[in-house]
Structures are given as C-alpha cells and as structure tokens.
C-alpha cells in the first residue's frame, strides 16, 4: 500500500528570531539540524524508509530532507523540488518581528493575517528588500506579493495531484519535506479538515507525520511516527 510521510523543516533562523519568513530563504539553527537528523534516525529505527522524495525550493526544507535521508541511508533516492511546495508568502510582513508587528497593528489584526483562511497579509512592495521576483530559482514563476492559506492550498494541491499522486499509485513510500502552511494544505486535503479548523492546526518542526493510504489514495490512518 502507498504511504506518505510529511515533515516540516527543522527550526529555522527566523523561527528562532520570531520573524515572519514566508518565501524568504533562511537556514536551519543548530536545533533545526538536530531535529532533522533525529527525524531521519526515527525513520531508520521504525523501518519507515522513503523511496521517493519531494521538497520546496527553500533551503530550510531542502536541508531538512537531506539531513533526514542521510540518517536513514536514503540520500540516493529520487528527489524532486518545486516552488509550489514553498511556504505561504507573507507579503509585506516578511522579515518583520512578530511581536513588534502585534504592537504596531494590534493582536487582532495580526491574528487575522496569520490565521484567517482567506485574508492575505498586505502585499510586499515590488523592489523592496525581500522581493524575490529576480531570484534565479523563480525564473518563469509569477512570484506572489502575498498569500492567504487558501491561496497556498490553490497551488499545493494541483501539484500534489499532478506530480505526487502518480508516484503514490505505484506503491512508493513518499516523503515530503516542506513548511507549516504547505503541509497544512496537504493535511486538510487528506484528512478532510474544514476551512475553519485547518487554520488552528499546528504542525511541529522535525516530526514525521505518516499517512497510510489505500489504493485510491484515501487515508486509512494518520499518526506521528514518534508515537508508534
């Protein structure tokens, strides 16, 4: 039967600094590296060995994948990268300290920007410090200036259906190393979670989530690997 492993990248430098990150590229902290390595050792210990890997274009997810695969001796498996697995774009909030943003705009407004399903943050100003439109990895990609969770789902799910489902149908064990919101999109789809409930779902860093799937790719079980 096909199996899907989801892992949110280990703690990033801006997770630690409490800054809005989104599409901006930051590295892992020492704790994040340790989380990724621990995830790989857990995969090996449980015999949960991936056969195909997918990740985003962002360093924190790519490194998490590589570190985890190294620990379970799976660096050699096919690996696919795509921008559609990127984190949600936080628009004009990118780079801002979260507490300072609350102090400036109020807790309620920041909560709406962070947790509403379909309200995006204010757009990122073109040509600003965090504008990625000229980044070579996004050549040919229309880089958004802001995204809601709904917007993120609208790019993640077509990629899942077009690129990942066909691999799962071959009976492969697929690992996806991605981000809090791109993984929320997949969990929402696979677990049938409502729009209201998905915004409150927390996905911890470095903790493999396993979906057991039937031949139609419907989820028969979902669990944290550390709990099995």
Active site residues: 9, 87
CA 223 to CA 111: how far, in whole Å? 28
User: Which of 133, 136, 154, 160 is CA-nearest to residue 144?
Assistant: 133
CA 158 to CA 73: how far, in whole Å? 30
- The backbone region for 91, taken as left when phi is positive above 0, alpha when psi lies in -120 to 50, beta otherwise, is left
The sheet with strand 219-224 has its strands ordered as 79-81, 52-55, 173-178, 3-8, 209-213, 219-224
């Amino acid at each position: 039967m096909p199996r899907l492993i989801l892992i949110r990248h280990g703690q990033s430098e801006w997770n630690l600094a409490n800054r809005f990150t989104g599409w901006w590229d930051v590295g892992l902290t020492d704790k994040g590296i340790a989380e990724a390595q621990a995830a790989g050792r857990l995969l090996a210990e449980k015999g949960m060995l991936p056969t195909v890997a997918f990740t985003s274009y962002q360093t924190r997810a790519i490194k998490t994948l590589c570190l985890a695969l190294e620990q379970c001796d799976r660096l050699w498996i096919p690996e696919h990268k795509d921008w559609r697995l990127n984190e949600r774009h936080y628009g004009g909030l990118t780079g801002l300290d979260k507490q300072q943003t609350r102090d400036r705009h109020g807790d309620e407004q920041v909560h709406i920007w962070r947790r509403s399903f379909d309200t995006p943050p204010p757009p990122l100003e073109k040509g600003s410090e965090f504008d990625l439109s000229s980044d070579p990895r996004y050549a040919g990609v229309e880089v958004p200036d802001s995204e809601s969770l709904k917007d993120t789902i609208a790019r993640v799910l077509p990629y899942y259906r077009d690129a990942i489902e066909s691999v799962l149908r071959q009976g492969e064990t697929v690992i996806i190393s991605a981000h809090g919101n791109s993984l929320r999109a997949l969990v929402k789809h696979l677990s049938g979670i409502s729009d209201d409930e998905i915004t409150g779902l927390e996905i911890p860093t470095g903790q493999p989530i396993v979906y057991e799937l039937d031949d139609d790719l419907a989820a028969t079980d979902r669990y944290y690997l550390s709990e099995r």
